[in-house]
Structure 1
Amino acid sequence: MSFTPPMASIAPRTWNRDNSDFFISTDPSLLSIEAVNAAYARDFLYWVKPFEEDVLRQMLHGSMSFGVYKRISSAQSQDELNAPSADNTEQIGLARMVTDGVTFGYLTDVYVLPEYQGHGLGRWLVECVSEVFSKQNMPHIRRNMLLTTNDEMQQFYAKILDMKLVGHEERKDIGADLVFMCARPGADTTTSNNSE
């Protein structure tokens, strides 16, 4: 069964770092169901558990998924290194934007595997999301939203995505309060007349 992402009008994009084996891409053909489910099974992703493969595939392809990848050395040639595929990459992170591709985005499932943290990959990942979901790239975008927990993550999203805290949800089942954050890219925040 083949899934076509609903944002087919938004061409997949890839971001590379000079002199690095890491890259970020929205190309759905690179997504690894197995790697994402393996990450979901780990304790550091306390908010999610593994899904049946068909469910996860639909979830990932029904959103705009930003994968974080590491090129693996099994690539036989420079051409293989320049043209990443599921065969010559390892998925090590993800950010999923649930979106209509025009006016709205809900950011969820953001992670970089702990063994790859400390390289600035998480910040770079969210900056790539911010670039795509900006007024410059999506002129009709009205809102970007997310849920998070601790103060450090609230400050992180406020700085990179210009998110503002708009509400709380008490979650005794996960032992933390969730914070609802929202940004209105390109909105004039100096006036209160706009009720979008």
Structure 2
Amino acid sequence: MSTAPPTTTTAPQTWTRPNSEFFISNNPSLLSVKAVNDAFGQEFLYWGKPFPEEVMHQMLHGSMSFGVYKHTQPQTEGEPFSPTAENTEQIGLARMVTDGTTYGYLSDVYVLPEYQGHGLGRWLMNCISEVFSTENMPYLRRIMLLTGDKRMQDWYTKIFGMEVIAHERRPDIGQDLVFMCARPNAKKS
């Protein structure tokens, strides 16, 4: 009799900061198709464009999506906060297209411009790095992404240990992209 192969299942998590109006969660019930579509319609997301709602819903829920949120209702001190789609506003996103065990492709990373400068992007990457650590995903073989921003290349190298492995010319978006990859469980020589 054969047994099922080992898998990694990650229950939804929420990360909070003390005395902060912001939190990060990979709970799919909090995702806002409208908020993400609105962001995809803005110029700062040069790679994206809005999609029909059912397409955006499938894109967000077919991936492990990490939302960055802001509380929209005052919290009572000492009371635990239970985030819902009604008491939060989605202000950022990162999607990991993944099988949940061996592979992750990081895509659609953003924090709305008006909320940048609060360390939310770094925090978002740290949350993803925690979930996609070799401790949580011991069979993780590869994390990959595309970026056109040199500053972000350096940042992804620092956060995930990524290396540039290829270039892609993209005259349609007015810049060239680099393909980056990290192999967390690769033997170091």
> TM-score of the superposition, structure 2-length normalised?
0.92
| Inter-CA distance 8–92: structure 2 relative to 1 (3 Å threshold) | farther
1:65-91 C-alpha deviation (Å, 9 max, x unpaired): 00000011266x569861000000000
5+ residue gaps, structure 2 = 1-6
* Structure 2: distance between partners of 1:80 and 1:187: 44
* Structure 2: distance between partners of 1:111 and 1:55: 19
Partner of 2:29: 29
Partner of 2:48: 48
> TM-score of the superposition, structure 1-length normalised?
0.89
| Inter-CA distance 89–8: structure 2 relative to 1 (3 Å threshold) | farther
Contact 1:134-1:186 at 8 Å conserved across structures: no
Q: CA RMSD in A?
A: 1.7
Contact 2:98-2:105 at 8 Å conserved across structures: yes
Partner of 1:179: 178
* 1:83 aligned counterpart, secondary structure: coil
| Inter-CA distance 101–140: structure 2 relative to 1 (3 Å threshold) | same
Percentage of matched positions with identical amino acids? 64
Partner of 1:12: 12
Contact 1:80-1:88 at 8 Å conserved across structures: no
* Structure 1: distance between partners of 2:176 and 2:106: 18
Contact 1:165-1:180 at 8 Å conserved across structures: yes
| Alignment partner of 1:121 is 2:120 | yes
Structure 1 residue 188 displacement after superposition: 2.1
1:103-123 C-alpha deviation (Å, 9 max, x unpaired): 000000000000000000001
4+ residue stretches of structure 1 with deviation over 3 A?
A: 77-81
1:138-193 C-alpha deviation (Å, 9 max, x unpaired): 01100000000121010011111111110000111111111000001132231xxx
Partner of 2:58: 58
| Inter-CA distance 35–79: structure 2 relative to 1 (3 Å threshold) | farther
5+ residue gaps, structure 1 = 1-6, 191-196
Amino acid at match of 1:46: Y
| Inter-CA distance 80–44: structure 2 relative to 1 (3 Å threshold) | farther
* Structure 1: distance between partners of 2:95 and 2:38: 16
